[in-house]
Structure 1
Amino acid sequence: MRSRARGCLAGLAVGDALGRPAEGMEPAEIAARWGRIEGYVADTPLGSDDTEYALLTAKALLRHRASFSAETVADLWREEVCGQEGGFVGGGFSEMAAIRNLERGHRPPRSGQHAHSWSDGLAMRVAPIGIAAAGNVPLAVRLAAEDGAVSHAGEGIYAGQALAAAVAIAMTGAAVVDVVAAAIEAVPADSWTARCLHVAAETAVSSPDWSVVARAAVDRLAVRDYYWADLAPEAVGLAFTAVLAGDGDVRETILNAVNLGRDADTIAAMAGAVAGAMAGIGAVPGEWLPAVAVAPGVCLRATRGMDPMAIADELCDLAAELQGVS
C-alpha cells in the first residue's frame, strides 16, 4: 500500500518535471527538437503547479479527514492561498479565477463557476484523493466532486472524478483495463470526458507504433480552436491513451505522455500518478527520483516544505481510517 502511494505521488512529480519543457508543443515539434524525449531535457528538472496543487489537496485531506468537503477546502484556500504575496508562479487559469472568486466572498459551487471551469486543474491534483480512497471508487468520486466545486464545474469536475477513480482502483493492483474502465464508469456516459476516454481506449490499441498512436490521439482529441491545451476532457483523454499504451510500465507510460506535448506536464503528471499507483515506487526509474523533492512552494507557499513521500505515507494511514466511509 505504501509503495503504491509513494509510486503514485512520485509518478505525478516526475511526470510534471519531465513534461514541463514540452508543454504547449505538438508531437511533431517534440520529434523535430529532441527525437523522442527519453529523460530530463531541462538542466534543473522540477515540478510545477501540478505537483504543488496535488500537495494542497493532500493537505486538505490530512487536515479534515472524514470531514473533507467543498466548504473545508474553500476555507483552507482562503486561509493559506488567497492573498499570497508575489503571485502564483505558473498557476493555471482555473485556479486563478477560483482564487479571485474566493477573495470576493464567493463560496463553492459559485467559486468554481467561471470561464475556465472545464480546465484540467482539478484532474491534475486529485491523485491524493485516489490514495485516501484506495479501493473505494464511490468515495473517490465524491471527494473529487467536493474538491472540484471550489475551482471547477461540469467537465472539469468529471475529468477529476475519472482520474480519482482510476487511482483508487490502481491502488488495489488492478490491471490497466480495469483502471481505465473505472475512470469511464465514474463519469456520465454522455459527457465529453467519457467520449474522450472511449477515444483513448480505441486509439491506444490502434497501432504498436507509439508515434502513430500519438499523432492519432492528438488529431482526435485536441481542440484546435481553443487558445490553450488545458481543456480537461482532452488532457485526460491523452493521459489515458498514454496509460493504456504503457500497459503498466511506469517509464513507458510517462514518456508516452511527455511526447504527446499539448499540456504535457499535466498529462504526464496524471499518467504518472496512475501508473505509479499500479506499479509502486520501485517501478519509478531511480534516475528520475531527484525531482521528487520537498516542495519549494514556487506556486503555492502553503506547500513549501512538504515531502511527497512522507505525504504518501500519511495518506495511507488516512485510507485505513476512511475504510467503510461512503
Structure 2
Amino acid sequence: MGATAGAVWGRSEQQDFRSRVRGTLLGSAVGDALGAPVDGLTLDEIRAAYGADGLVDLGPGFGRRGAVTHLTQLALFTVDGLIRAQVRRDIGAWHPPTDLHRAYLRWAATQRDWGPDERRKEDGWLAREEWLYARREPTRALLMGFGDDRMGTLESPKNPNEPGPEATARSAPFGLLVGWEPQLVVQLAVECAAQTHGHPTGFLAAGAYAVVVHALARGEGLDGAVQRALALLSARPGHQIVSDGLQHALGAVRQGMPSPGRVEELVGDGTADGVLAAAVYCALVGADVRHGLILAVNQGGPSAATAALTGGLLGALHGETALPPAWLAELEGRPTVLELSDDFAMEMTQGPALHGPAGASPGWLARYPRGR
C-alpha cells in the first residue's frame, strides 16, 4: 500500500488543508455530542423531552453538555494511528492497517484501565489524555473486535455478521489523506473497518464515507464526491446495499422539503448503509452546518452516528469556520481535537522535516514514537 509523495505545499494550501482537517474532526465530534443525549430515542420521545422542534441545541449527556461518545474517541485514535504509520514508514515499517490496529488497541486499553500508564512512553501522548478514559457506551462489536491482539482482515474479519455504523464513524480521517489516490483511501478504510465490522455493509460503508471525505477535502462538491464513491464501490463484491443507499440519498434531495420522516426512511434499521445515506442527505439539504446537524439528530435511529458522519462531511466541505462557535465552545475534549488536527496537518504537509533521514525532531518522536 503506498501513497503519493513529494508534493510541495504552498502556505495558502497548508492553511486550507488545516482548516478542512479541523473542520472534519471538530464537525464529527460536535455531531456526536449533539446526538448523544437522544441516541436511540424515537422522534416522539425526543419531542416529548425537548419540545415540538426536537433537539436544537447541545443537551446533557454523560453528566455534562457537549460530551462525546466512543465514536469520537475512536476517530481520534484513527488520526493517531495514521500519524504513527507515516512516522514508522521511515524505518521501513509500512503497513498502515497494522499501525491503525495498534492505535485501536490503545483505545481499547482506555476502556479497561482507570487512567493512563505514564510508564508506557511508547503509547504516545494521545493515550495519556485522561478524559479519553471515560467509557461512553462502546458497542459489543467494538469490544469484541479489539478484545485481543488478533487483527481482523478482509480475508478473516472480526464480527463477520456486524453491519453497524461504528466503523464508518471512525473513518473520516482516512479521507484526509489527500495525497493518496482515492482507491487506496477506500482500501485502507475497508481493511481497518474489517477489524470490527466484518459484514460487507459495515466495511464498504466505511470505505465509501472515507472517499467522500477525501473528495471534499480536495475541494470537490458533495454531489460529485458521492458519485466518485459510487464509481469506486461498483467494483467491490457486496456493494449493492451501500450503493443503493447513496443513490437513495441523492434522489431524496429532489423529493420536497427536508423532514425527520425522510431522514428516518433513509436510516432504516440503523445499519451502516442507512446511516451513511442519511448523513449524505442531511449534508446536502442542510441550509448550513447547524441545520444539517439538527436534521441528522431528530430521528429515531442512531442519532450520534448519523450526526457525526454529517458533521464530518460538512466540516470537510466548508472548513472549521463554518461550525457553530457556541457548540465548539462546549465540546468535550476540544483542545485535544485541535492539537491532534494540527499535528495531522503538519505531518501530512511537513513530515519529512520532522522525522526524515536528513534529521528528526525528538519532540515529535516522543509524541508519535516509532515503536508500537
Q: TM-score, normalised by structure 1?
A: 0.83
Match of 2:140 in 1: 93
- Cα deviation for residue 117 of structure 1 reads 2.6
3-state SS in 1 of match to 2:138: coil
- Cα deviation for residue 138 of structure 1 reads 2.1
- Please say if residues 23 and 321 of structure 2, whose CA atoms lie closer than 8 Å, have aligned partners that are also in contact: yes
Looking at structure 1, the residues matched to 112 and 155 of structure 2 have their Cα atoms a distance apart, in angstroms, of: 21
The C-alpha deviation readout for 1:174-205, integer Å capped at 9, x for no partner, is: 22211222332332375211111111111132
Match of 2:81 in 1: 60
Distance change in 2, residues 1:11/1:206 (3 Å): same
Match of 2:208 in 1: 162
Distance change in 2, residues 1:79/1:20 (3 Å): closer
Q: Is 2:57 aligned against 1:39?
A: yes
Match of 1:303 in 2: none
Match of 2:227 in 1: 181
- Please say if residues 250 and 281 of structure 2, whose CA atoms lie closer than 8 Å, have aligned partners that are also in contact: yes
Which structure is larger by alpha-carbon Rg, 1 or 2? 2
- Cα deviation for residue 258 of structure 1 reads 1.3
Distance change in 2, residues 1:168/1:288 (3 Å): same
- Cα deviation for residue 73 of structure 1 reads 2.5
- Cα deviation for residue 8 of structure 1 reads 0.8
The C-alpha deviation readout for 1:138-182, integer Å capped at 9, x for no partner, is: 232122123223222211111101111111111123222112223
Looking at structure 1, the residues matched to 350 and 186 of structure 2 have their Cα atoms a distance apart, in angstroms, of: 18
Q: TM-score, normalised by structure 2?
A: 0.73
Match of 1:171 in 2: 217
Looking at structure 1, the residues matched to 206 and 107 of structure 2 have their Cα atoms a distance apart, in angstroms, of: 22
Looking at structure 1, the residues matched to 104 and 58 of structure 2 have their Cα atoms a distance apart, in angstroms, of: 32
Match of 1:127 in 2: 172
- Cα deviation for residue 59 of structure 1 reads 1.0
Aligned residues: 301
- Cα deviation for residue 110 of structure 1 reads 6.8
- Please say if residues 162 and 187 of structure 1, whose CA atoms lie closer than 8 Å, have aligned partners that are also in contact: yes
- Cα deviation for residue 62 of structure 1 reads 0.8
Identity within the alignment, %: 24
Match of 1:239 in 2: 279
Read off the aligned partner of 2:23 and give its amino acid letter. G
Q: Is 2:324 aligned against 1:285?
A: yes
- Please say if residues 23 and 262 of structure 1, whose CA atoms lie closer than 8 Å, have aligned partners that are also in contact: yes
Looking at structure 1, the residues matched to 74 and 210 of structure 2 have their Cα atoms a distance apart, in angstroms, of: 14
- Please say if residues 186 and 210 of structure 2, whose CA atoms lie closer than 8 Å, have aligned partners that are also in contact: yes
Q: Is 2:240 aligned against 1:191?
A: yes
The answer to which of 276-285 and 172-181 deviates more is: 172-181
- Please say if residues 16 and 269 of structure 1, whose CA atoms lie closer than 8 Å, have aligned partners that are also in contact: yes
Match of 1:84 in 2: 112
Q: Return the match for 1:108 from 148, 153, 164.
A: 153
3-state SS in 1 of match to 2:169: coil
Looking at structure 2, the residues matched to 293 and 220 of structure 1 have their Cα atoms a distance apart, in angstroms, of: 29
